Amino acid sequence: MKTSTLFAVCGIVCGISSLTLGLADKPLWAGLFGLSAGIWSLATLAISRSGGDDD
């Protein structure tokens, strides 16, 4: 599996977890998972833009 694909999946999972925790009235955890989803998304973008070897 490509690294960028794995990072994108992690970002989606963190985003869904953030939404679920927000609806469960746990704003601190929702914010932390939202932050991690953003970081995964930026990492995915950086990998795809670098054009390096992606196994």
Residue 19 lies in a domain: yes
Residue 27 lies in a domain: yes
Domain assignment of residue 22, given as a range = 3-49
Q: What span, in angstroms and rounded, lies between the C-alpha atoms of 17 and 8?
A: 14
Residue 54 lies in a domain: no
Collapse the DSSP code of 54 into the 3-class scheme (helix H, G, I; strand E, B; otherwise coil) and give the result: coil
pLDDT at 44 over 70: yes
Give the model's pLDDT for residue 48. Answer: 80
Count of domains for the chain: 1
pTM score: 0.80
* Cα–chain center distance at 55: 19
**pLDDT tens for each residue of 3-42:** 888 888 999 999 999 999 999 999 999 999 999 999 999 9
Residue 55 lies in a domain: no
Average pLDDT over residues 37-54: 82
